[in-house]
């Protein structure tokens, strides 16, 4: 049986953890829909972003930097390489591993994805004025940093 928020007990409706989860589900849905326009997923964006910002890297290093699991990393690199958005070549210093590099097409696509993502963020934050958006981002950053064990 589906319930609406109004039917839930009051003590559940006001829980910060539950509200954060509801908001995260909505945000993820909007981001997934935006990336689907480009027939890509969040992993693709994360990998392209890391390569553009930090330069060529091994698949293992990219996995550590982005939090993408090893098996998902292989599939993501294969997909992006198949689309010529990244290049994969043996590491000259260790032929057992590959170095992944973003291509010019990958950089162009990343710019397009940035625009799609910005629109999804605007849709997500639509009910909030700019000052509230900045405040929310600050609060969420402090919470995430605290629970990741990083200084706020």
Q: What mean pLDDT is predicted for residues 108-117?
A: 96
In a domain, 54, yes or no: yes
Categorize the per-residue pLDDT at 66 as very low, low, confident or very high, splitting at 50, 70 and 90. Answer: very high
pLDDT band at 92 (very low <50, low <70, confident <90, very high): confident
Full domain range(s) for residue 104: 40-123
CATH number for position 50: 1.10.10.10
Q: Identify the residue with better confidence: 118 or 149.
A: 118
Q: What gap in Å lies between CA 146 and CA 152, rounded to an integer?
A: 6
* Structure token pair of residue 103: 């291509």
CB 132 within 8 A of CB 90: no
């Amino acid at each position: 049986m589906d319930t609406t928020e109004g039917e839930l007990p009051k003590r559940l409706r006001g829980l910060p953890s539950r509200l954060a989860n509801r908001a995260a589900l909505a945000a993820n849905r909007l981001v997934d829909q935006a990336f689907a326009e480009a027939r890509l997923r969040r992993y693709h964006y994360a990998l392209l972003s890391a390569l553009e910002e930090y330069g060529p890297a091994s698949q293992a290093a990219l996995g550590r930097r982005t939090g993408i699991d090893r098996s998902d990393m292989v599939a993501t690199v294969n997909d992006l390489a198949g689309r010529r958005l990244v290049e994969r070549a043996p590491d000259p210093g260790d032929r057992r591993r590959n170095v992944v590099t973003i291509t010019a097409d990958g950089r162009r696509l990343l710019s397009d994805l940035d625009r799609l993502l910005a629109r999804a963020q605007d849709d997500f934050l639509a009910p909030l004025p700019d000052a509230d958006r900045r405040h929310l981002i600050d609060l969420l950053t402090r919470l995430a940093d605290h629970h990741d064990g990083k200084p706020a």
